[in-house]
Structure 1
Amino acid sequence: MRREELLAGLRELFLREGFAGLGVGELAARLRCSRTTLYLVAPSKEQIVVATVRSYFKNAAERVEARVAACDEPGLRLATYLEAVASELQPASEAFYTDLAGFAPANEVYQANTGFAAQRVQQLVVEGVEAGALRPVNASFVGAAVAQVMSAIQTGEIEAATGLADAEAYRQLADLVLAGLA
């Protein structure tokens, strides 16, 4: 089994069930490989988790950007981006998010990706404003505001306050931002 195949299996498993309660032996058994083969991903369980989480966000970002690149309308690129982010987060279970929050190295990967997402929102706002497709706004402010909400989604504050899972919270954020920029 190649490393990428292992990562794909780990991503699917972690998104469905989380990772905190799974030992290396159980991971190997569930993926139908040996522990030695599993260690091709990384030399320890903690590093396997981080590599898998990093792989998940990298693959998700590539799919999101592909959807944005396919959108020719500057005014719709921001909506496409936020909807794509929500779609990519949809398969992740509550257990996955709980484990992310509880394991600092994986949480750092999530936080970094949230930061990248906020920067990307800012870029898309600038593009939309420059094209005349979005009303003139301070893109830095929009990016900072979106970053705050994304961070609150990531930490579970939004879910605690609203009951919305991360993917649905991103959809609601998309609606809010787009209504404000129309």
Structure 2
Amino acid sequence: MSAISEARGRTPRRSPRRRTVDTSRIEELLTQASDIVLAEGFTTITMDQLAQRLGCSKATLYSVAGTKEQLVQTITRRFFITAAEQIERAVAEEADPRQRIRTYLTGVGTAMRLHSPALYDDMVSYEPTARIYRKNSDAAARRVQEMIDEGIRAGVFRDVDGTFAAQVVAIAIDAVQSGALLQSTGLSAGDAFSKLGDLILDGLSRPATS
């Protein structure tokens, strides 16, 4: 049974009454629902409560997603897609490979700071959203490896094993995801990613020549 089912022992069902809603209204409701979930998590809130706070009928909310499970997965995917697009736009504006990798990881940290502790706990505890998070964490590690390799080719990074460095990043990301690194350091997920960027650059940069 899903951790976010709205009634114990009962499989969530689609509402028998669904309403056709225009695309702009769906996008507006999804944005508003995302703001609530980012701030408060999703385990304790029900579709009835969401509809009331969004000022719409439950039938209208079911036009956005057929079940609460589908809604939180949609919100999670939407968050990571939007964050990735924003981060890559910022990275594209940086010509210096050192600043590109810093911009990327700082962007990841900034995005993760939008997650309240409640949402973070809910996301990693519920398998469908944890799977989405893991997929994006893996993509982040691959992207870091690409930027390390670019920096090595440009001569601004030491000639290290980019795959090894990226795997270290992946392990750090997993430690953030599991909560182990956050618990031992007291850092938030966002701060941990930012510090990871500083650590990588300190280790990769060529020593200054006198």
For the aligned pair, the TM-score class normalised by the smaller chain equals: over 0.9
How far is 1:70 from its partner? Answer: 1.1
1:134 paired residue among 143, 157, 177: 157
Question: Hey, what does 1:42 align to over in structure 2?
Answer: 65
SS at match of 2:65: coil
Aligned mates of 1:39, 1:131 — CA distance in 2: 51
SS at match of 2:64: coil
Q: Which one has a larger percent helix, Structure 1 or Structure 2? A: 1
SS at match of 1:39: helix
How far is 1:2 from its partner? Answer: 2.3
Per-residue displacement from partner, 1:47-71 (whole Å, max 9, x unpaired)? 1110111101111111111110111
Question: Hey, what does 1:60 align to over in structure 2?
Answer: 83
- 1:79 equivalenced with 2:102 (yes/no): yes
Question: Hey, what does 2:170 align to over in structure 1?
Answer: 147
Question: Hey, what does 2:127 align to over in structure 1?
Answer: 104
User: Under a length normalisation based on structure 1, what TM-score does the superposition of the two structures give?
Assistant: 0.96
- Does structure 1 conserve the Cα–Cα contact (< 8 Å) formed by 2:98 and 2:201? no
Q: How many equivalent pairs are there?
A: 182
How far is 1:117 from its partner? Answer: 0.5
Aligned 1:2-21 pairs, distance under 5 A: 2-21=25-44
How far is 1:40 from its partner? Answer: 2.3
How far is 1:14 from its partner? Answer: 1.1
Percent identical across equivalent pairs? Answer: 40
- Does structure 1 conserve the Cα–Cα contact (< 8 Å) formed by 2:105 and 2:194? yes
Per-residue displacement from partner, 1:81-131 (whole Å, max 9, x unpaired)? 001111111121100111112211111111111011001000111111111
- Does structure 1 conserve the Cα–Cα contact (< 8 Å) formed by 2:137 and 2:173? yes
Per-residue displacement from partner, 1:115-168 (whole Å, max 9, x unpaired)? 110010001111111111211111111111100100110111111111111001
Instruction: Give the superposed CA RMSD.
Output: 1.1
Unmatched 5+ stretches in structure 1: none
Question: Hey, what does 2:10 align to over in structure 1?
Answer: none
Q: Which amino acid aligns with 1:152?
A: A
Question: Hey, what does 1:89 align to over in structure 2?
Answer: 112
Bigger mean CA deviation after superposition, 1-10 or 94-103: 1-10
Q: Who wins on radius of gyration, i.e. which is larger?
A: 2
Q: Which amino acid aligns with 1:26?
A: Q
Unmatched 5+ stretches in structure 2: 1-23, 206-210
- 1:164 equivalenced with 2:187 (yes/no): yes
Aligned mates of 2:155, 2:29 — CA distance in 1: 46
Question: Hey, what does 1:120 align to over in structure 2?
Answer: 143
